[in-house]
């Protein structure tokens, strides 16, 4: 209580007398993790770097963490006042930390301009001095363009004020600044693409105080050169507030210095987080809540489980005391085990003054956890369909003009590229008939990524063959190209979604004879489209003989049609073979003709691939996974579909190579067991034991018992894979692999994870993800059943998932493979908890 009171007093003093608070501020020091720290305030200097998917992922440069929240990022030399996600960033050269002086020096360069610079930082009292050092002046081509920027999260400053040299202003809730006309350029090509605009500055000065009224968000910045404040949302909805100083021309040495002082509140403690399953628990389940604490929180508070009565009474339920787990990342952890509590009912958890939302203990706790994903998320993701939900149209019949042949030797946006030939009979820019059918929007954008399509088809088939879910709440009319959500039509929804994905895979082979990388927008302007997908293009096939904007006989002179990237890649062919072979089994009864065609394409393409050296074209993440793994999956799925011994031979021959990457291929390896000799299963046991041991090691590395990734894309997909690997091995090798990891994985997805207790599956659990990166992200909303990437570890030690800002794609972007895997995991947990009887797999009933 004394610590809390001192924090309140400090906050009151800071609000009443900013100058006094600044002179008495606790000093910033360089800690052992390599960033500057004061009570409740951190400054990171290039602890993170841009993740490579796009130039700008808002996870690099100089960053500020204040009272547990990262509120500023991208402190670096940039070439425009409000750069977007495709605008150029400097290339990182090196980072040197001088522990003795507390200085960090980072060298960067813009290689296209043969220009290097250094950013040096060091603590100055309660602030950090950040300097730009030049050995050579700013190049003439960058004079008036190169400046030091620091970007501030808009959501952190909504409803707040600022002062610029003592003149007050307020941060706008919505951008409405005067704009200056410019020539808009495509960042990918550098070519002019018509008129553009840049915002004018909101305010100017040499000293800015952001949120002077709020101790939790107050940041004071002084500069040796004039600063300007911009609102990047004028150009893009994902823009931030940007503070910027132009670098002076013709000078070397220390050309700019900012003194950055985030307000420090001595005694502040981050509120405890009680991480737990928002879905609840079955009576016999292991039930462990993870209590996340500020490392300075030394209070001895009690953790309690309370049962909620009908009249609102909170009845304490006896449990063992919470036990200390230890430290992980920047927090300390306790664990409260209440596994012995089996009485069904509604409960809450409490630690000190922190209380969770209600959750259930019930035999059917996991029942229906997959319904929103199949009922809503996948229908909304359906391309080439009009999708309606009661009074709401999610989108019209999109991309009826698909698709034009991509130009050769072209590296495109979003990790697509076309090789030196089209590998088709079509010329660059020519319309490819037959592709405007089936498929799902890959993620928060609108492209059809083939690698995702076949992954989803296979995952959905696995759910169908294991559990036979007959749920029917969606009406799909492919003739009218219309989907109605919450309207049954007599066909299981899972089979309809399998058919929809299969239609796109089949269409690719019909159109060009092989799997293609995918279908994506031709330029950045279309790629960034938000809103109804059917308005992205005019829906009319492009005819170059028509004038721009002219329409005649169902064709258009507007070249807005998406591009198909078609360079042959054997890995993609094999992945598609696997998807088509799997689909042929699931669709055998509901659509025999499509089933037969899918299997015919799969067997024919397999034979073709065996007749020549593999096509090894690779680019980004759109040309398939590792060739050996994709070939193995194709062999396994063909074996399951046909029982042909040739595919069993291929599986056996591949095993020595596959064994080396067992963690990534084990579900395929296990799926082949019923069709292989007993020696195959026996030979797998050493790999299973090794994997089980590594899984146990991963479980012990953090208090949540699952692997937590540290890359630029958060790890929900990794956790889903970990849990489904455990399920697969438990079913096949129960004496080696226990089922615990299945439930740990599910609980992680729905709330038992670092940073918060929110469910990462929108609409699933009491408190779930409600601000996500779907194609509806500009509305700060969600799509029920979508799964977000989750906890992003901002290096070195900050777990983050923003619920106030959807545009962090590495934390908040829905992707279809994770949705399909969630359907599997929810079924698996329900089965293992005794909530369902597994169906006999179709390929084992023959």
Alpha-helical (H) ranges within 703-841 are 716-732, 740-749, 809-812, 816-832
Residues 6+ away with beta carbon under 8 Å from 225: 206, 245, 246, 247, 248, 255, 256
What SS3 class is residue 659?
helix
d(C-alpha 516, C-alpha 508), whole Å: 7
What pLDDT is recorded for position 57?
86
For residue range 75-114, list pLDDT tens digits in order: 999 999 999 888 889 999 999 999 999 999 999 999 999 9
Could you tell me the pLDDT band of residue 49, with boundaries at 50, 70 and 90? confident
Task: Report the distance separating Cα 672 and Cα 202, nearest Å.
Answer: 63
For residue 86, the model assigns a pLDDT of 84
Average pLDDT along the chain: 93
Report the pLDDT value the prediction gives residue 197, as an integer from 0 to 100: 85
Query: Which region, left, alpha or beta, applies to residue 834 given φ > 0 means left and ψ of -120 to 50 means alpha?
Result: left
Domain 371-845, second-level architecture: Alpha/alpha barrel (1.50)
**DSSP string covering 172-196:** -SS----EEEEEEE-TTT--EEEEE
Topology, domain 2-262: Beta-galactosidase; Chain A, domain 5 (2.70.98)
Above 70 in pLDDT, residue 739? yes
Among 9-23, 243-257, 430-444, name the one with the lowest average pLDDT: 9-23
Where is average pLDDT lowest: 1-10, 349-358, 537-546? 1-10
**CATH 1.50.10.10 in the chain, residues?**
371-845
pLDDT of residue 55: 67
Cis peptide before 822 (omega within 30 of 0): no
Residues 6+ apart with CB under 8 A from 2: none
The residue with tokens 């008939």 is 433
- CATH 2.60.40.10 residue ranges in the chain? 273-361
Within 10 Å of residue 98's Cβ, how many Cβ atoms? 12
Instruction: Let me know: does 810 contact 712? Beta carbons within 8 Å.
Output: yes
- 3-class SS of residue 147: strand
Annotate 259-276 with b (16+ C-beta within 10 A) or e (fewer): bbbbbbbbbbbbebbbbb
Average pLDDT on 302-317 reads 97
Nearest to 449 by CA among 535, 576, 538, 534: 576
- Which class is 273-361 in CATH? mainly beta
pLDDT at 7: 38
- Buried b / exposed e along 102-128 (16+ C-beta atoms within 10 A): bbbbbbbebeebebbbbbbbbbeebbb
CA torsion sign, 209 to 104 to 150 to 773? negative
pLDDT at 454: 98
Strands 314-317 and 354-355: unpaired
Residue pLDDT, tens place only, 203-229 = 999 999 999 999 999 999 999 999 999
3-state DSSP call for residue 670? Answer: helix
Q: How confident is the model at residue 53 (pLDDT cuts 50, 70, 90)?
A: low
pLDDT at 835: 62
Is 199:179 a contact under the CB 8 Å cutoff? yes
pLDDT of residue 186: 53
CA distance 5 to 640: 67
Sheet architecture: strand order including 551-552? 541-542, 555-556, 551-552
Of 582, 614, 622, nearest in space to 598 by CA = 582
pLDDT at residue number 5: 34
* pLDDT band at 715; cut points 50, 70, 90: very high
Q: Rounded to an integer, what distance in angstroms lies between the CA atom of residue 256 and that of residue 101?
A: 20
For residue 799, list its beta bridge partners.
Answer: 793
67 in Cβ contact with 265 (< 8 Å): yes
Instruction: Provide the strand spans (E) within 79-176.
Output: 91-98, 103-110, 115-124, 127-134, 147-152, 161-164, 167-170
**Distance between CA atoms of residues 151 and 243, nearest Å:** 6
Residues in the chain, overall count: 846
Residue 464's SS3 state is: helix
C-alpha R_g of the chain:
28
Q: State percent of the chain over pLDDT 70.
A: 94
Give the pairing of strands 563-565 and 404-405.
parallel
pLDDT at 463 over 80: yes
In three-state secondary structure terms, 822 is: helix
Q: Is the separation of the CB atoms in 90 and 77 below 8 Å?
A: yes
Mean pLDDT, rounded, for 49-78: 89
Whose tokens are 């692997």? That residue is 707
Contact between residue 641 and residue 581 where contact means Cβ atoms under 8 Å apart = yes
Lowest mean pLDDT among 48-52, 270-274, 422-426, 704-708: 48-52
- pLDDT(461) > 50: yes
The overall longest dimension of the chain from CA atoms, in Å, is 82
Is residue 16 over pLDDT 70?
A: no
Indicate the SS3 state at residue 301.
coil
171-180, 219-228, 682-691: the lowest-pLDDT one: 171-180
Q: Which ranges of 390-513 does DSSP label H, i.e. alpha helix?
A: 450-467, 493-512
* Cα–Cα–Cα angle for 280, 283, 286, rounded to 5 degrees: 75
| CATH 2.70.98 boundaries in the chain | 2-262
> How far, in Å, CA of 234 to CA of 236, rounded?
6
CA–CA separation, 715 and 76 (whole Å) = 27
**Residue 835, burial from CB neighbour count under 10 angstroms (0-12, 13-18, 19+):** middle
Q: Facing residues of 219 across strands?
A: 210, 262
Q: What angle do CA 673, 674, 676 make, to 5 degrees?
A: 60
User: From CA 507, how far away is CA 505, in angstroms rounded?
Assistant: 5
């Amino acid at each position: 209580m004394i610590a809390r009171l001192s924090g309140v007093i400090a906050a009151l003093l800071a609000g009443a007398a900013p100058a006094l608070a600044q002179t008495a501020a606790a000093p910033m020091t360089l800690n052992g993790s390599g960033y500057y720290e004061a009570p409740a305030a951190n400054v990171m200097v290039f602890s993170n770097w841009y993740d490579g998917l796009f130039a700008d992922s808002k996870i690099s440069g100089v960053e500020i963490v204040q009272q547990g929240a990262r509120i500023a990022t991208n402190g670096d030399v940039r070439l425009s006042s409000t750069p977007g996600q495709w605008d150029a960033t400097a290339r990182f050269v090196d980072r040197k930390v001088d522990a003795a002086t507390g200085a960090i020096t980072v060298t960067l360069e813009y290689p296209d301009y043969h220009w290097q610079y250094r950013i040096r930082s060091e603590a100055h009292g309660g602030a950090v001095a950040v300097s730009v050092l030049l050995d050579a002046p700013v190049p003439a081509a960058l004079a008036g363009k190169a400046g030091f920027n620091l970007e501030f999260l808009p959501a952190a400053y909504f409803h707040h004020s600022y002062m610029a040299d003592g003149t007050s202003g307020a941060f706008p809730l919505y951008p409405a600044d005067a704009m200056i006309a410019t020539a808009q350029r495509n960042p990918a090509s550098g070519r002019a693409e018509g008129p553009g605009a840049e915002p004018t500055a909101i305010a100017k000065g040499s000293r800015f105080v952001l949120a002077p009224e709020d101790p939790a968000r107050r940041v004071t910045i002084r500069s040796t050169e004039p600063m300007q404040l911009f609102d990047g949302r004028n150009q893009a909805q994902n823009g931030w507030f940007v503070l910027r100083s132009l670098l002076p021309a013709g000078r070397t040495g220390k050309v700019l210095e900012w003194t950055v002082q985030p307000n420090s509140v001595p005694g502040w403690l981050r509120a405890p987080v009680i991480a737990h399953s928002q879905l609840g628990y079955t009576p016999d389940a292991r039930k462990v809540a993870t209590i996340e604490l500020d490392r300075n929180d030394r209070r001895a508070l009690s953790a309690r489980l309370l049962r909620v009565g009908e009249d609102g009474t909170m009845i304490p339920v006896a449990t063992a005391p919470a036990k200390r787990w230890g430290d992980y990342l920047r927090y300390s952890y306790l664990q409260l085990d209440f596994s012995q509590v089996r009485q069904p009912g509604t409960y809450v958890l409490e630690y000190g003054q922190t209380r969770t939302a209600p959750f259930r203990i019930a035999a059917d706790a996991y029942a229906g956890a997959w319904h929103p994903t199949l009922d809503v998320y996948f229908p909304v993701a359906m391309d080439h369909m009009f999708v309606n939900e009661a009074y709401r149209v999610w989108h019209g019949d999109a991309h009826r003009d698909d698709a034009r042949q991509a130009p050769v030797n072209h590296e495109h946006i979003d990790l697509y590229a076309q090789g030196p030939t089209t590998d088709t009979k079509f010329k660059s820019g020519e319309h490819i008939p037959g592709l405007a059918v089936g498929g799902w929007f890959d993620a928060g954008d609108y492209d059809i990524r083939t690698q995702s399509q076949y992954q989803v088809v296979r995952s959905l088939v696995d759910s169908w063959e294991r559990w036979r879910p007959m749920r029917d709440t969606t009406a799909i009319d492919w003739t009218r190209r219309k989907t109605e959500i919450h309207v049954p039509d007599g066909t299981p929804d899972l089979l309809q979604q399998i058919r929809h994905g299969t239609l796109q895979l089949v269409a690719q082979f019909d159109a060009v004879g092989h799997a293609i990388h995918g279908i994506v927008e031709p330029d950045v302007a279309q790629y960034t489209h938000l809103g109804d997908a059917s308005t992205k293009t005019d829906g009319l096939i492009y005819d170059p003989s028509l004038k721009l904007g002219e329409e005649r006989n169902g064709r258009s002179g507007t070249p807005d049609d998406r591009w198909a990237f078609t360079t042959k890649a054997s890995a993609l062919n094999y992945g598609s073979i696997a998807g088509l072979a799997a689909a042929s089994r699931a669709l055998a009864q509901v659509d025999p003709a499509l089933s037969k065609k899918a299997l015919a394409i799969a067997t024919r393409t397999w034979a073709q691939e065996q007749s020549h050296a593999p096509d090894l074209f690779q680019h980004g993440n759109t040309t398939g996974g590792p060739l050996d793994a994709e070939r193995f999956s194709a062999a396994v799925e063909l074996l399951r579909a046909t029982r042909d011994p040739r595919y069993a031979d291929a599986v056996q021959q591949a095993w020595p190579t596959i064994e080396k990457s067992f963690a990534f291929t084990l579900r395929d390896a296990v799926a082949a067991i019923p069709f292989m000799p007993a020696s195959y299963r026996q030979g797998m046991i050493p790999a299973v034991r090794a994997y089980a041991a590594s899984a146990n090691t991963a479980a012990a590395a953090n208090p949540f018992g699952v692997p937590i990734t540290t890359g630029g894309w958060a790890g929900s997909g990794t956790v889903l894979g970990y849990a489904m690997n455990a399920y697969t091995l438990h079913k096949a090798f129960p004496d080696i692999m226990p089922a615990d990891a299945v439930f740990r994985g599910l609980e992680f997805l729905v709330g038992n994870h670092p940073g918060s207790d929110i469910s990462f599956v929108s609409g699933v659990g009491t408190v779930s993800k409600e601000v996500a990166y779907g194609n509806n992200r500009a509305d700060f909303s969600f799509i029920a059943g979508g799964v977000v990437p989750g906890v992003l570890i901002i290096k070195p030690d900050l777990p983050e998932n923003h619920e106030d800002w959807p545009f962090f794609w590495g934390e908040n972007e829905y992707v279809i493979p994770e949705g399909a895997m969630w359907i599997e995991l929810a079924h698996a947990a329900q089965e293992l908890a005794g909530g369902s009887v597994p169906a006999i797999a179709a390929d084992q009933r023959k």
